[in-house]
Structure 1
Amino acid sequence: MAEELTEMTVQVITPNGVVYDHHGTFVLAHTTGGDMGILPHMISTIAGLEIDELKVRRPEDKNEQVDYIAVNGGIVEVNRNLVTIVADSAERERDIDVSRAERAKMRAEREIEEAKVAHKTDDVRRAEISLHRALNRLNVSKHQ
């Protein structure tokens, strides 16, 4: 009898190319419908992603390593032990430029205040999304 697969392939793809491509034993994704835990042999599914961290538990001998990826929305598709995340942008924790993310956070906070004073609700919403992305990157960078 064939041995059952206990891991799956996890890929994170952006318009700039593949950001992440490894085997994993568990993935935690934050979808628009709530948190989704993905294990090997999960039924095929597709879901929208929130701006949040993606957690991938990798099999490394007896010690399991966890990788974190800052994902800025997108979709997750699970199909035959292949988990594919397609996002506008994504960064692994080790690739995040913390000072750049801090500057983006400060810029977004300033833009929110300016847009509120000018009563520009669309600009407030855009700046809030920018702030959420910057905070997500800073949060994921702390896992290093």
Structure 2
Amino acid sequence: MADNSVLTVSIVTPDGKVYECETATLVVVRTMSGQLGIMPNHIPVIASLEVDEAKVTHDGKEDEIAVNGGFVEFSDNNLTIIADSAERQGDIDVDRASKAQHRAEEKIREAREKHDDQEVLRSQVALRRAVNRINVAKH
């Protein structure tokens, strides 16, 4: 019989599974509509995710995963995040993320000078992803 007091959490990307936990008691993510906390026996949910961190509480500790878009689906105490990309806190290369941040900032400046609104938007997304990775790594 399944344990109704815990969640099974999986985070997957096009490159494969990034994270799995079978003993979670709380997952907090940021959706397009705001922050969402899911505990065992929550009602079923499907929501689009913002570029932000996912926090998974289990066994008295909290894991943080940088999630860069995608969606979350929850039912029957199984939570799945399908993300464009995701990295566990300990796997984030802060130097690489900082370089990506600086590249994105430079591309934004250049695109604004050229009045290239599409490139500004693409570079802003890249900047949000880099800053998200840095923030998660430094928690």
Query: TM-score scaled to structure 2, two decimals?
Result: 0.96
Aligned to 2:109: 113
Residues 104/3 of structure 1: CA separation in 2 closer, same or farther (3 Å cut):
closer
Aligned to 1:48: 48
TM-superposed deviation, 1:53: 0.4
RMSD, aligned α-carbons: 1.2
* Structure 1 segments of 4+ aligned residues over 4 angstroms from their partners: none
Matched residue type, 2:131: L
Q: Which runs of 5+ in 2 are unaligned?
A: none
Matched residue type, 2:17: V
1:49-88 equivalence runs, <5 A: 49-59=49-59, 64-88=60-84
Residues 3/87 of structure 1: CA separation in 2 closer, same or farther (3 Å cut):
closer
The 2-side partners of 1:51 and 1:119 are apart by 25
The 2-side partners of 1:3 and 1:99 are apart by 42
1:1-144 equivalence runs, <5 A: 5-22=4-21, 23-59=23-59, 64-143=60-139
The 2-side partners of 1:3 and 1:86 are apart by 23
TM-superposed deviation, 1:3: 8.8
- Aligned length in residues: 138
Residues 124/3 of structure 1: CA separation in 2 closer, same or farther (3 Å cut):
closer
Matched residue type, 2:104: A
Secondary structure of 2:132's partner?
helix
TM-superposed deviation, 1:5: 2.3
Deviation digits for residues 54-110 of structure 1 (CA, Å, limit 9, x no counterpart): 000012xxxx11000000010000010000000110000000011100000000000
The 2-side partners of 1:3 and 1:51 are apart by 32
The 1-side partners of 2:3 and 2:63 are apart by 24
The 1-side partners of 2:70 and 2:81 are apart by 7
Q: Which runs of 5+ in 1 are unaligned?
A: none
